[in-house]
Structure 1
Amino acid sequence: MSVREMLPMSDISACAAPRIREAIDADSADSLARSLKALADPARLRLISMVAAHVDAEACVCDLTEPLGLGQSTVSHHLKILVEAGYLTRSKRGTWAYYRLVPGSLDAVTQLLVGVGSTVKGQ
């Protein structure tokens, strides 16, 4: 029996279905992966939520330590990662640091999740 006879023949056009949207390019994937890595921690997700929930979407580090149940240095470390990733801004007032959610900073993550959700629903 030849190899050709052992392979099932099928219509390969079914495998070449047209794309309905553009796939993410390598540079964008790398950048988004770094951003997602910054968010991929329960404490950091909670911090984003806590800052966003405060009046004017701004919170002092002193307001975040107790509800999070972590020490001030650990909370500051997580906040630093979120600032470096571009999700929060930091301003110093006296001895305290205040953090604010950067407008639109979660848009790329939202678009990714909406795109994945619509792809999964369409299956």
Structure 2
Amino acid sequence: MNTNYNEYARFFKALSDPNRLMIIDMLSCGELCACVILEKFQFTQPTLSHHMKTLCDCRLVNGRKEGKWTYYSLNDEIVQNFRVFLEELTTAKENCICRNEGNCCE
């Protein structure tokens, strides 16, 4: 696996907050307006904006403006790539980094 671990670490960092995990769960059902997301939480609109910026900056979530409202959805391609990475990361494989040259246990 030829992987950019730094890129995927950004996803884990973004997902390390329980509120952001809940937002991802909500978006798994489809696109939602920020106002709908905000109704489910006990925090302010600026706090929601911070969470959404974090999720958008790592590209797990897409945001689009329509008038004065912002709508959010999962970035399906990035989410699928992350799923593949997580599967590869947690599965034994022939070309695992533990088998690279210099490993004292080979």
Report the TM-score range of the alignment, normalised by the length of the smaller protein. Answer: 0.7 to 0.9
In structure 1, what is the equivalent of residue 65 of structure 2? 92
Gaps of 5+ in 1: 1-21
The structure showing larger relative contact order (alpha-carbon pairs under 8 Å, at least 6 residues apart) is: 2
What RMSD, in angstroms, separates the aligned Cα atoms of the two structures? 1.7
Q: Is 1:49 aligned to 2:22, yes or no? A: no
The secondary structure found in structure 2 opposite 1:92 is strand
Q: Deviations over 1:6-57 (max 9, x none)?
A: xxxxxxxxxxxxxxxx364xxx01111122211221111111111221xxx1
Gaps of 5+ in 2: 93-106
TM-score for both structures, normalised by structure 2: 0.74
The secondary structure found in structure 1 opposite 2:12 is helix
Q: Which structure has the larger Rg?
A: 1
Q: What aligned pairs does 1:61-80 form with structure 2 within 5 A after superposition?
A: 61-80=34-53
CA distance in 1, matches of 2:14, 2:63: 16
Q: Is 1:36 aligned to 2:12, yes or no? A: yes
Q: Is 1:102 aligned to 2:78, yes or no? A: no
Q: Percent of aligned pairs with the same residue?
A: 32
